[in-house]
Structure 1
Amino acid sequence: MTAAMVEQIRHRLDAALHPVELEVLDEGHKHAGHANEGKGHFHVRVVSEQFAGVPPIKRHRLVYAALGELMDNGIHALSIDAKAPD
Structure 2
Amino acid sequence: MPMAADDIIALIKAAIPDAEVEMTDLAGDNDHWAAVVVSDSFKGMPRVRQHQKVYAALGGRMGGELHALQLTTKTRDEGQ
User: Would you call these one fold, judging by a TM-score over 0.5?
Assistant: yes
Q: Return structure 1 stretches of 4+ with deviation > 3 angstroms.
A: none
Give the secondary-structure state (helix, strand or coil) at the position aligned to 2:61.
Answer: helix
The answer to whether the aligner puts 1:59 opposite 2:58 as a matched pair is: no
Aligned to 1:28: 27
**RMSD of aligned C-alpha atoms?**
1.9
Q: Please identify which structure carries the higher helix content.
A: 1
**Separation in structure 1 between the aligned mates of residue 19 and residue 55 of structure 2, nearest angstrom:** 18
The answer to whether the aligner puts 1:84 opposite 2:75 as a matched pair is: yes
Q: How many pairs were matched up? A: 77
TM-score with structure 2 setting the length? 0.81
Gaps of 5+ in 2: none
Deviations 1:13-71 (CA, angstroms, capped at 9, x unpaired):
11111235210111124xxxxxxxx6511011011011001000000100100011321
2:35 maps to a residue whose letter is V
**Separation in structure 2 between the aligned mates of residue 21 and residue 28 of structure 1, nearest angstrom:** 22
Q: Identity over aligned residues, as a percent?
A: 35
Gaps of 5+ in 1: 30-37
- 1:39, 1:76 within 8 Å by CA — same for their partners in 2? no
Residue pairs, 1:2-81, within 5 angstroms = 5-29=4-28, 40-81=31-72
- 1:5, 1:74 within 8 Å by CA — same for their partners in 2? no
TM-score with structure 1 setting the length? 0.76
**Separation in structure 2 between the aligned mates of residue 20 and residue 44 of structure 1, nearest angstrom:** 12
Rg comparison, structure with higher value? 1
